[in-house]
Structure 1
Amino acid sequence: MIDVVSHTIDRCRSQGMRRTKALEQLITTLLESERPMTLAELAESERLSTQCDKATVFRLLQRLSEKGIVRRLGLHERAAYFTLLLPDRHQDYLICTECGSIEAVQAPCPVHRLEDEIREKTGYKNLYHELEFFGTCPACL
């Protein structure tokens, strides 16, 4: 995990961000989380609550989202969830339109073959996709 944190910090620095303790703790917290986290969850986490305030966490998340290092998930009128975008990992999500809960899709992604075909036909480099499926979760039915 230390290698992934270091590699992600290097990606941040190559995008013009400064290496700070808050940035390191935010990346480590997102990396260790088994699911996407809200701004409030991140700001109140053990690592970040002692390093910085909620506004700093928000600004870091905004910059990381703009740089393509963090992915923002969720419904626009509900709390946003954040997860790290890692070059060697891909995850699609199910989002409940009733309660706003988010969970990872536990099935192979059907779009990878299409992505390869598009890359081949168009010559695009660094091509990627993000899938979010919306519906009503079993708890809300």
Structure 2
Amino acid sequence: MSHSTVSIIAQCKAAGLRRTKALELLIDTLLASPRPMTLAELSEHDNLNTQCDRATVFRLLQRLTDKGIVRRLGLHERAAYFTLLLTGRHQDFLICTDCGKIEAINAQCPVHALEKEIAQKSGFTGLYHELEFFGTCPKCSV
């Protein structure tokens, strides 16, 4: 188990989640993925498909999302994508409203300065944001 996995498991325990083999495998799978994954991709992944069923993966994702450990992305009428919220790593996304494709934005986030200003002026602590842009991808535009 990697240092990152141990850290996230500790975060899960602090949030009141029970440490299970399925939880560990789900976190390992999300950590290893270079992009957000759907429920189908996760439940069919080699790490998980022999250890737990789709319903277990779904329940874990819901709990992790509710506790702010996992971020749910996508359009409500399409398959949701899931990615870990990692301390020190911020990622914004582009989401196609036609096909549902999701890709990371490879540009500096313009909202960080605004976030700091809002925190200073409002007194809020632990302020964060999640940014998603919606539009039509090049493949769907033709």
Q: Shift in Å at residue 136 of structure 1? A: 0.3
Q: Percent identity?
A: 70
RMSD of aligned Cα (Å)? 0.8
| Matched residue, 1:114 | 114
**1:17-96 paired onto structure 2 within 5 Å:** 17-96=17-96
Matched AA of 2:42? L
| Matched residue, 2:3 | 3
Rounded to whole Å, the distance in 2 between the matches of 1:37 and 1:57 is: 12
Q: Shift in Å at residue 37 of structure 1? A: 0.3
3-state SS of 1:86 partner: coil
1:123 paired to 2:113? no
Q: Shift in Å at residue 87 of structure 1? A: 1.3
Q: Shift in Å at residue 123 of structure 1? A: 1.1
Q: Which runs of 4 or more aligned residues in structure 1 lie more than 2 Å from their structure 2 counterparts after TM superposition?
A: none
Per-residue Cα deviation, 1:35-71 (whole angstroms, up to 9, x for no partner): 1000000000010001100000000000000000000
Tell me the TM-score normalised to structure 2 length.
0.98
3-state SS of 1:57 partner: helix
Matched AA of 1:95? I
Rounded to whole Å, the distance in 2 between the matches of 1:59 and 1:42 is: 12
Gaps of 5+ in 2: none
Q: Shift in Å at residue 134 of structure 1? A: 0.2
Rounded to whole Å, the distance in 1 between the matches of 2:125 and 2:26 is: 29
3-state SS of 1:46 partner: coil
Rounded to whole Å, the distance in 2 between the matches of 1:39 and 1:111 is: 29
| Matched residue, 2:104 | 104
Q: Shift in Å at residue 21 of structure 1? A: 0.6
3-state SS of 1:71 partner: strand
Q: Shift in Å at residue 88 of structure 1? A: 1.0
Matched AA of 1:72? R
Q: Shift in Å at residue 113 of structure 1? A: 0.3
Q: Shift in Å at residue 5 of structure 1? A: 0.6
Tell me the TM-score normalised to structure 1 length.
0.98
